Each structure stands twice: as structure tokens, then as C-alpha cells.
């Protein structure tokens, strides 16, 4: 049985010192990973630079993305930047990646939000290019969306064969891709094709459990190698979401995305999801819940 791991999404700070203080606080309170999102709209740092600053200020804390939008960067350039970051962080990178989905991002930047199946095919190719570029080469690839010719990229990542890849998603096609390609899967609600938010018909514990079952079936023997997690979106009664946020917990009360009760109650709920369904990686979605969630981390870390 896997031990628990805990991450926290951190978006912004007013100064370099404030950002470093946040990273060190996570490290000191037992979190394993500091994660930076990748959206164009809303108050957020650019993830690659922010991760490097956090890694430079800590010694144990891993850094990652929750999650990069494949549509925003060519995978060859992403492979170069992330290999550099992995080397300079002494092998502490976890690369979270998805298709890109939030319509507000695409509209604000003048980008075309293709239909989900096109974005998914592009991500599938992007993952192949990333892994190929990280291998050192020479690497060539001919796909529908990407064309790479005799690429030899240096440096290679410090972690071999490459940094852990986290794929976040909730739709069947994305989960099947994650079953084949991911080291870590972060379970989410399925998103609407127009990028307006989560699909409200995809909520609830039964739907959440079906995602794990689908992942198990699609991964086959590989399932035991995959670390399964989700984001803790709400603690207690919750608060109104910021205008830029697409988080929706209205349907998720029976899932590990919503925690209520005492510290013991919350810890017991996460133990249940680990012991019954194999989930071991829980990511705090809102930094404002850090004080409430840190005692849960202290209670479960290392167990």
C-alpha cells in the first residue's frame, strides 16, 4: 500500500520573499509537492519560473504543475525547459499536463479552442514528443500536429527515464490516455466541450468511483504502478469562488474533493479512499485552506 503524499497549489505572491516563504512553509509543514497552475486568466505566476524559484529556496520539496496546458507550448520547447528545471532542482520536478480546456484562457489570448478529440490527439502526440526529446536522441517524430527531425537535446532530465508525468482529467478518453502514459493521475470532473467549466452531470461519488474502475481496466497490469490522487477542492462549508475560478464542488460532497468535520474525520475519509480505492496523493486546491488542512497532513504524512 502506498504512503500518503500531499501537494498544494500556490498561485501568486506579492514579492520574491513572500513566494519563497510560502514554499518553505509547505516544506516545513510536511507537504511533499508545491504545484503551480497554468492559466492565462486570473492572478497566477508563470509556472516554470515560479517552480524554479521554489525549488531553489527548498531542499526536500518537489515542484510541479497542476497542470500545464499542452496547447500553450510546443512540446520540444517544453522538453528543453523542463529538463533544465529538473537538473537545476536536483531531480525534484513532477510534470502535470493536460490538453488545455478553460475557454476564458483561449478567448483572452485569441487562441482557438478545438473540440476535445482534437486537443486529446494533440496531447497524445505531445507526450510522445516530450518523452522522445527527454531521451537524448537522436529523435524524430511525424504526427498530425508535431514534426520533429533528428533532435538531440541536452541536457537530459536528472530523473530517469524522465520526470514523473501527472495527467489530470475526468473524461473516459483522457483517463484511457492517462492509463497508458501517466505516472500519476489526478482525478477531476469532466469538463464541458466549450470550456465553460466542469460538467455538472459528472458529479458525485458513484461517478468518481467509476473513474477509478475505468483507469484500472484501461491500465491492466500497469495500474499498480500508477499513483492515483485528486484535488481537495473544499474544506468545511467552503466559500464563494473567485470570479476567475472554475472550481465546482456542489456535486462532490461524497468524494475526497470535499472534506468536512474534525481533523480526525478528514483524515479518516482520506484513509478510506486510500484503503478502499488506492488513492494516495491529495492536493490542496485553495491556499486559503492551508491552516485547516495542514493538521491533516501532519496526521497522515508518512503513514
Low-confidence ranges of the chain (pLDDT < 70): 238-248
Please give the pLDDT value at position 66.
97
Question: How far, in Å, CA of 298 to CA of 242, rounded?
Answer: 28
The candidate with the shortest Cα–Cα distance to 257, out of 194, 216, 207, is 207
- Whole-prediction pTM value? 0.95
CA angle 140, 142, 148 (to 5 degrees): 40
Please give the pLDDT value at position 246.
60
Quick one: DSSP state of residue 57?
T
Question: How far, in Å, CA of 266 to CA of 296, rounded?
Answer: 7
- Distance of CA 108 to CAs 17, 39, 73, 102, 103, Å? 30, 11, 16, 10, 9
Q: How far is CA 213 from the centre of its chain?
A: 20
How confident is the model over 74-128, as pLDDT tens digits?
999 999 999 999 999 999 999 999 999 999 999 999 999 999 999 999 999 999 9
> What structural domains and CATH numbers belong to the chain?
5-300 (3.20.20.30)
Query: Grid coordinates 533528428 are at which residue?
Result: 150
User: By the 8 A CB rule, do 104 and 111 touch?
Assistant: no
Amino acid at each position: 500500500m502506498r504512503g500518503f503524499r500531499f501537494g498544494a497549489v500556490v498561485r501568486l505572491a506579492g514579492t520574491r520573499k513572500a513566494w519563497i516563504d510560502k514554499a518553505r512553509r509547505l516544506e516545513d509543514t510536511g507537504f511533499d509537492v508545491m504545484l503551480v497552475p497554468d492559466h492565462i486568466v486570473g492572478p497566477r505566476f508563470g509556472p516554470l519560473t515560479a517552480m524554479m524559484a521554489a525549488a531553489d529556496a527548498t531542499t526536500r520539496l518537489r515542484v510541479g504543475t497542476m497542470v500545464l496546458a499542452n496547447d500553450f507550448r510546443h512540446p520540444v520547447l517544453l522538453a528543453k525547459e523542463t529538463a533544465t528545471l529538473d537538473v537545476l532542482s536536483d531531480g525534484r520536478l513532477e510534470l502535470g499536463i493536460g490538453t488545455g480546456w478553460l475557454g476564458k484562457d483561449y478567448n483572452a489570448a485569441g487562441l482557438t479552442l478545438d473540440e476535445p478529440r482534437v486537443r486529446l490527439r494533440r496531447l497524445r502526440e505531445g507526450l510522445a514528443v516530450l518523452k522522445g526529446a527527454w531521451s537524448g536522441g537522436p529523435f524524430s517524430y511525424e504526427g498530425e500536429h508535431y514534426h520533429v527531425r533528428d533532435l538531440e537535446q541536452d541536457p537530459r532530465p536528472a530523473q530517469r527515464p524522465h520526470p514523473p508525468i501527472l495527467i489530470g482529467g475526468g473524461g473516459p478518453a483522457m483517463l484511457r490516455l492517462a492509463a497508458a502514459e501517466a505516472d500519476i493521475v489526478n482525478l477531476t470532473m469532466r469538463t464541458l466541450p466549450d470550456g465553460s467549466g466542469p460538467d455538472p452531470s459528472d458529479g458525485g461519488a458513484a461517478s468518481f468511483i467509476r473513474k477509478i474502475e475505468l483507469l484500472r481496466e484501461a491500465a491492466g497490469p500497469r495500474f499498480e504502478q500508477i499513483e492515483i490522487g485528486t484535488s481537495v477542492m473544499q474544506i468545511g462549508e467552503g466559500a464563494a469562488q473567485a470570479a476567475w475560478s472554475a472550481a465546482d464542488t456542489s456535486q462532490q460532497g461524497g468524494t475526497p474533493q470535499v472534506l468536512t468535520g474534525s481533523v480526525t474525520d478528514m483524515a479518516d475519509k482520506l484513509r478510506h479512499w486510500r484503503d478502499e480505492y488506492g488513492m494516495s496523493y491529495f492536493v490542496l486546491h485553495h491556499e486559503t485552506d492551508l491552516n485547516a488542512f495542514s493538521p491533516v497532513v501532519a496526521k497522515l504524512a508518512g503513514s
